[in-house]
Amino acid sequence: MKITHRLLILVLVTSILSACASESPATKRTDQDYAAHLLIPSDNLIVPGDRVGPVFLGMQDTDLYKRMGEPSRSFTYQEGDAAGATVYTYGSLSVYVFPDHRVRYVYIGSDYRTQEGAMVGTSQLALRAELGDPAWSVLFHPDIGQWKNCYDKGLVITLTNGAVDGLVVVHPGC
């Protein structure tokens, strides 16, 4: 049931974030910036609009493999705005790689946190105190009290019944 719920959230997040799939400055990193990101140590830090641990937006799929190894699971979307995108799962990370072979966004289930402390399990009140108000918020699943909040700096957060149950690092701007 938990895996089915997580898969459903991944599919729904993909549909909401389809606008984030377009080319952005993060996918057009300079060679120097790209090389610097490859040297980032493996940590559990979420940097909105940039990276989750060692995985960064704009990272090439071959470098993803070199950093993270073999994924525990992968699948490719066949329909919608994410058609052709492949999702690679590494523990609590789901990394979305588009047909240009670059990471466009990263879904975080647990084990990672922002510098401010936002992570899975954070209360809605603590989230507001740590990150302020989102650029937009939408009631996504009224039957289970699930909200999607987007922060301009490049972070979408799912809250269910007043607590964070998922985070997605995206390109800045909602």
Instruction: Quote the pTM value.
Output: 0.80
Domain extents in the chain: 2-169
- Please state, in angstroms and rounded to a whole number, the distance separating the CA atoms of residues 82 and 103: 12
What pLDDT is recorded for position 80? 76
Strands 73-76 and 55-56: unpaired
* pLDDT tens track, the chain, 174 positions: 444 444 444 444 444 444 444 444 445 667 788 888 888 777 899 999 999 999 999 999 999 999 999 999 999 988 777 789 999 999 999 999 999 999 999 999 888 999 999 999 999 999 999 999 999 999 989 999 899 999 999 999 999 999 999 999 999 987
What pLDDT is recorded for position 54? 93
What pLDDT is recorded for position 5? 43
> Helix H segments across 22-70?
31-38, 61-68
